[in-house]
Amino acid sequence: MGTQPVEEVTYIVNDQLWDLHTSFGLPRARATLPQNLAFQYNSSNEVIAVISREYIPPGTRFGPLVGKIYNKETVPKTVKPGCLWMVFSQGCTKKLLDTSDPHHSNWMCYVRRAHSCQLHNLSAGQTDGAIYFHTQRPILAGSELLVWDSRADRAQSKDQCAPSEQKVNVLSACCTFSGLQQQTPMNHSTYDQKITAMQTKNKEEEKKPSLQDKPRKRDSSQTADSRNTLFSEAQLQVKTWNEEPVSGQTGPLDQNDPGQSDINPNCQAGAPICPHNTATSLHKDLPLALSRFPSSFLLYSPLSHLSQQYQHSYTSLPVHCPRLLFPSYSSAFPLPTSLNSLSDLKPLEISVLTTPAYPKHLGEGHPPYTYGAVSPSPTSLPKQGSSEGQTTNDPLIPSATCAMSSSRPEFTMSHLSLPTGGGSLPNRAMPQAQPRAAFWPAPQSKSLLHEVRPGKQLDQSSGAGILPHPLKKENGKIKYECSICAKSFGQLSNLKVHLRVHSGERPFQCHICKKCFTQLAHLQKHHLVHTGEKPHQCLVCNKCFSSTSNLKTHLRLHSGERPYQCWLCHTRFTQYIHLKLHRRLHERQQLLCCPSSPPTYLHHANLEVHQRGNCPLFTYHSCPTAKLCETNSMCNQFDLSQDPTPLLERGLDHHRAALLMETLILRKMELGGINTVCSGSRPVHFSRMAPSCFFLKQEEQQRHIQLA
DNA sequence: CTGGGGAGGGGGCCC
DNA sequence: GGGGCCCCCTCCCCA
């Protein structure tokens, strides 16, 4: 009996880094829990289960399982058989893995065993002597992780062995397992169904063509990285506003979302998970729906994509980098078509989102993967298809060894089933020293997942049903949908190229400057930088340009075309970026000010905080000044003001536009784990604030005075 | 502050 | 279906 083929792995989740000296005595089993998971405790503060904090797609791999290693001769008799895992090699028991000691095992020792095939969502597998857990089906937020052993079940069935009488069981992937006592999984079905229904409806809604203040032939998907990310998020969020309310529902996320992870050394080990510190949270006054956002957006998506060296650089950045986190008031912002009245706005009913964010602000020189570290010198690069030892100086030849190249298993795109030339993931363990990306697809409904078919399955026998390229039909045409951002493409190849956006794969490397690109065309275009070639000439002034786009922009100078107009002063610009910069001038001119004090505020939230905390015109002070300052600081980091026009142009009045954006503020604050505004005796509802689109106009200020 | 150019990224179309 | 080409969009830099 040899090692079984590894199941197809699309996403990899590594343990939290654990260090004996920096974990403040926290047992390894508790300190290594990935951030997308949470522990469930009993009344004695013992871990009884592992819960998913967010949607986890099939094909996700956790592990490896860690524990004390014994062989048959050295295994102590005191070890509980239920905590022993058998690892096989060449048909023989190779070693025994003891997971009974939380100081020597990792979080996986807490994953309970499903008592039936129908209930499990994880299966254990062995790869090169290491045991991993693979998700067999989508795990929705709040669901318990349950690992299943088909062979053990069969054995138990034969032996009529009660669950409590577990012996050393054998897992389906040649591992032997007997975990904690079998338990019935927690009943989150109602909540899961709710989320599923919402997600299904989200997906079925079509994007509304956005009105824009500038001529754009394309939809809003063609935006910058950060805006893309935020757009998707905002899109889902706005869509959700039209969904059936879920307020008042105490779903499992509320119960289990560890707003304070137990890996936090400041947290008391073993303390029950408290989703929110209701004593300090701004949102204690908010409907529950807003208070239950998982923190994955901040906690985990960006970091999980970065190698350790970049994690540091990322975490040193402000948590609320506006470009990264906050959707601009942009023309790329879709609005629900039915948003015609205030009642349509359900700003506190927001679906669970797991959109990954990519820290573009890391800079060109700091890609989220260790390109430079793995890329050999140009002279050492073997020419593709050439014999060994040959080198190439052709900068346009894709580097076989550059970032995420298929030649390197730790970077292979087989995780996403991309045909990068290297084929499938080698059947060997992933080096643990390499932090790897974990990419979460957007939450998908179960129905969708059943409808789509896989682009490729490495192991049909596994039954995992990995679906890297979900298919759907639109107007009779097959569309390939990105499982991460739900964007659809008419051609699979386009989707595969698109997936590089999420994966970070950049297979085309410039051998001169080592910069990597997602597409060959980009590399070819980039190469002109080095050659100085400018093949595109303006027929009017004979000026040459390296790209047609830049030539086209240039031609506007001759034609006098200024397609980008400011809606306030009607100034026109030839480039959109100029209009954006111009708008900020207006914003500065319209800073909010409280009639009682000289400070001005960029955002309505700031003014609200001021008035709530220390404005003499308001009497419901309840928050310390330091807290207010912090809140103001955080609010100011939200760059709400980039593009305030489109919402208004779409018929939204100031009030509704303010509602929309302020809700997003709240959400972002929640995601950031910021406990900011103490609402005191009066509930915080931004929606009751004076109508404004971030800017309090003069007449509204007067009204404000009257109210005060 | 405005304006112009350079550069990179995403995606559609076509072979 | 894959790859190449092209276009559009965005941002940055600098005068």
A511-557: pLDDT as tens digits: 888 888 888 888 888 888 888 888 888 888 888 888 888 888 888 88
Mark residues 493-512 of chain A whose C-beta is closer than 7 A to nucleic acid strand C.
493-494, 496
> Closest nucleotide to A538's CA, by C1' atom?
B5
The integer distance in angstroms from the CA atom of A397 to the C1' atom of C7 is: 24
Strand C: list positions under 7 Å from protein Cβ. Answer: 1-13
pLDDT bucket at A654, cuts 50 / 70 / 90 = low
- A434: CB within 7 A of chain C nucleic strand: no
Place of tokens 């207006």: A586
Mean predicted confidence (pLDDT) in A438-450: 29
A617-641: pLDDT as tens digits: 554 455 566 666 655 555 544 444 3
What pLDDT does A93 receive? 59
- Output A577 or A619, whichever has higher pLDDT: A577
Cα distance between residue A652 and residue A654, in whole Å: 7
- Percent of chain A whose pLDDT exceeds 70: 32
What pLDDT does A570 receive? 82
The rounded mean pLDDT for chain A is 52
The integer distance in angstroms from the CA atom of A220 to the C1' atom of C15 is: 32
Mark residues 317-336 of chain A whose C-beta is closer than 7 A to nucleic acid strand C.
331-332
Q: Quick check: A322 pLDDT over 50?
A: no
Which DSSP letter does residue A360 get? G
> Closest nucleotide to A551's CA, by C1' atom?
B5
Task: Judge whether A113 and A182 are in contact, CB under 8 Å.
Answer: yes
Locate A379 and state its tokens: 């002279």
- A456: CB within 7 A of chain C nucleic strand: no
Q: Quick check: A106 pLDDT over 50?
A: yes
A345-369: pLDDT as tens digits: 232 222 222 333 223 322 333 333 2
Strand B: list positions under 7 Å from protein Cβ. Answer: 1-14
Task: Judge whether A122 and A422 are in contact, CB under 8 Å.
Answer: no
Mean predicted confidence (pLDDT) in A550-570: 85
Mean predicted confidence (pLDDT) in A561-590: 81
> Closest nucleotide to A581's CA, by C1' atom?
B1
Strand pairing partners for A12? A61
A149-178: pLDDT as tens digits: 544 443 333 333 333 333 333 332 223 222
What's the gap between Cα A508 and its chain centre? 25
Mean predicted confidence (pLDDT) in A457-475: 45
Q: DSSP secondary structure string, A496-530?
A: HHHHHHHH----EE-TTT--EESSHHHHHHHHHHH
What pLDDT does A678 receive? 31
- Output A426 or A19, whichever has higher pLDDT: A19
Locate A703 and state its tokens: 């009204």
Scanning A205-287, the segments in alpha helix (DSSP H) are 225-241, 252-256
* Most confidently predicted of A238-252, A254-268, A504-518: A504-518
What pLDDT does A496 receive? 84
What pLDDT does A166 receive? 33
Cα distance between residue A110 and residue A48, in whole Å: 7
> Closest nucleotide to A571's CA, by C1' atom?
B2
Cα distance between residue A573 and residue A591, in whole Å: 24
List, in order, residues 6 or more apart from A114 with CB less than 8 Å away. A120, A121, A146, A147, A148, A182, A185
What crossing angle do the helices spanning A654-671 and A225-241 adopt, rounded to 10°?
110
Cα distance between residue A304 and residue A295, in whole Å: 13
- A625: CB within 7 A of chain C nucleic strand: no
Q: Which residue is nearest to nucleotide B7 (CA to C1')?
A: A526
Q: Is A178 left (phi over 0), alpha (psi -120 to 50) or beta?
A: beta
Q: Quick check: A305 pLDDT over 80?
A: no
List, in order, residues 6 or more apart from A696 with CB less than 8 Å away. A592, A593, A604, A607, A690, A704
pLDDT bucket at A55, cuts 50 / 70 / 90 = confident
> Closest nucleotide to A218's CA, by C1' atom?
C8
**CA end-to-end span of chain A:** 79
Mean predicted confidence (pLDDT) in A285-291: 23
**CA torsion sign, A664 to A670 to A674 to A679?**
positive
Mean predicted confidence (pLDDT) in A660-689: 40
Cα distance between residue A240 and residue A188, in whole Å: 21
Q: Quick check: A408 pLDDT over 50?
A: no
pLDDT bucket at A302, cuts 50 / 70 / 90 = very low
What pLDDT does A77 receive? 72
Cβ count within 10 A of residue A73: 5
List, in order, residues 6 or more apart from A680 with CB less than 8 Å away. A612, A620, A621, A622, A623
Cα distance between residue A212 and residue A234, in whole Å: 17
Q: Quick check: A4 pLDDT over 80?
A: no
- A218: CB within 7 A of chain C nucleic strand: yes
Q: Quick check: A130 pLDDT over 70?
A: yes
The integer distance in angstroms from the CA atom of A351 to the C1' atom of C11 is: 31
What pLDDT does A227 receive? 33
Q: Which residue is nearest to nucleotide B3 (CA to C1')?
A: A578
> Closest nucleotide to A225's CA, by C1' atom?
B9
- A477: CB within 7 A of chain C nucleic strand: no
Q: Is the model's pTM score more than 0.85?
A: no
| Residue closest to A443 by CA, chosen among A178, A56, A137 | A56
Task: Judge whether A50 and A39 are in contact, CB under 8 Å.
Answer: yes
Q: Which residue is nearest to nucleotide C6 (CA to C1')?
A: A548
CB contact burial A132-154 (16+ within 10 A = b; e otherwise): bbbbbbbbbbbbbbbbbbebbbe
The integer distance in angstroms from the CA atom of A613 to the C1' atom of B11 is: 49
Q: Which residue is nearest to nucleotide C10 (CA to C1')?
A: A224
Q: Quick check: A112 pLDDT over 80?
A: yes
User: Looking at A88-102, A115-129, A451-465, A610-624, which range is the least confident one?
Assistant: A451-465
